[in-house]
Structure 1
Amino acid sequence: MQSIVLLLWLALCAEQDVRERQVANTLTIGAATCALAYLFTTGHTWIGADASEGGWALALVMLLTLPGYMLGHVGAGDVKLLAALALATDKMHVLGTFIGAGVALVIWLMSRRWLWSLLSLRVKKRLTQLREASSSKQPFAPFLLAGFLLAAVWIQ
C-alpha cells in the first residue's frame, strides 16, 4: 500500500514536470515534511525501514544529486523530490530508483523517435515537452517514476 501511495505521488510529480518543466514545492517539500513527520513520530520510514535507513538514503541522495545541481544538470525540483523519496523509503529504493531512471532515460533516448510514432495525437499533445525537438534537456521526474516502479518490483 505504501508503494502505491509513493507511485501516485511520483506520477503527479512526473506529470507536472512534463507539462510545466518544474515540480511544485507543494509536492516536493510537502511530501518531505510528511515523510519527516512520519519518521519522527513512528521511528521508521513510510515503507517500514529503520529511521537510520531513511537518513542514509537522504545522505546518498545529497551525494548523488548536489554535484549535478551545482553543475546545472539536475534541477532543484528533482533534488527535493529525491530527498522526499529518501525520507520515505530506504537506500535500496533510492539506489534502485537512480539505476532504473538511468536505464529508462537511456532507453527513451535511444528509441524515442520510434516510441513517439506509436503514440496517439492526444498523448503527443500532452507530452510535448518530451518531444525530441522541444528541448535538449529532458524532464527527469518521469524517469524517476519509471525507476521507482522498476525498483519496487525488483525489491519486492
Structure 2
Amino acid sequence: MIHGVVILLWLGLCALQDMRQRQIANGLTLGAALLALIFLLWTGTTWLGAPASEGGWAFALALLLTLPGYALGRFGAGDVKLLAALALASTLDYLLWSLIGAALLQACWVLVSQRLRARRGRADAQVSTKQPFAPFVLTGFVLYWLWIH
C-alpha cells in the first residue's frame, strides 16, 4: 500500500510540473526510472511487488506504445520517460490501465475544451496547444488503484 502512495506522490509531482511548465524534469522521470530499475534488479520485483519479468515486459510495452507517438510529435520526451519509469515501478496492468484512462480522459478534456472555446466564439491566441499528459496518467493510475483496492 505504501509503495502505491509513493508512486501517487511521484506522479502528482510530475503532473503538477507538466501542468505548470508543459514539461517534466529529467530528475523526476529519469531519477524515478533509475531508482525503480535499481530496486527491480536488487529485489527481483517491481516497486509494487510484481516479478521482475513483468516489470521488463511493462517497460518494453511502454516504449513500444510511446516511441512511435514521440517520433510523430504526439508525445513529449517527458511523457515517454514518465511511462517508462511507471512501467519499471509497477505492473503491466497498472501501465495499461493508466494509459487507457489517460487517453479516455484526455479525449474527453479536448472535446469539452473545444466546445467551451466554440461557445465563447473566439480562440485564445496565447493558449498553448500542447496538452499536459501527466495529469491524465495520474488520474488513470488513481482510478485503477482505487478499483483494485
Which residue number in structure 2 is paired with residue 120 of structure 1? Answer: none
Determine which of 144, 148, 154 is the counterpart of 2:141.
Answer: 148
Which residue number in structure 1 is paired with residue 17 of structure 2? Answer: 16
Q: Does 1:136 align with 2:136?
A: no
Which residue number in structure 2 is paired with residue 6 of structure 1? Answer: 7
Question: Which whole-Å CA distance do the structure 2 matches of 1:114 and 1:38 have between them?
Answer: 45
Question: Which whole-Å CA distance do the structure 1 matches of 2:129 and 2:59 have between them?
Answer: 29
Question: Which whole-Å CA distance do the structure 2 matches of 1:43 and 1:4 have between them?
Answer: 21
Which is worse superposed, 103-112 or 67-76? 103-112
Question: What amino acid maps onto 1:49 in structure 2?
Answer: A
**Deviation, structure 1 residue 150:** 1.2
Gaps in structure 2 of 5+ consecutive residues: 117-123
Question: Which whole-Å CA distance do the structure 2 matches of 1:2 and 1:133 have between them?
Answer: 40
Which residue number in structure 2 is paired with residue 32 of structure 1? Answer: 33
Question: Which whole-Å CA distance do the structure 2 matches of 1:114 and 1:5 have between them?
Answer: 36
Question: What amino acid maps onto 1:152 in structure 2?
Answer: W
Q: TM-score, normalised by structure 2?
A: 0.88
Where does 1:87-126 land on structure 2 (aligned, <5 Å)?
87-112=88-113
**Deviation, structure 1 residue 154:** 2.4
RMSD: 2.0
**Deviation, structure 1 residue 133:** 6.0
Kept in 1, the 8 Å contact 2:17–2:23? The answer is: yes
Q: TM-score, normalised by structure 1?
A: 0.84
**Deviation, structure 1 residue 47:** 0.3
Say how many residue pairs are matched: 142
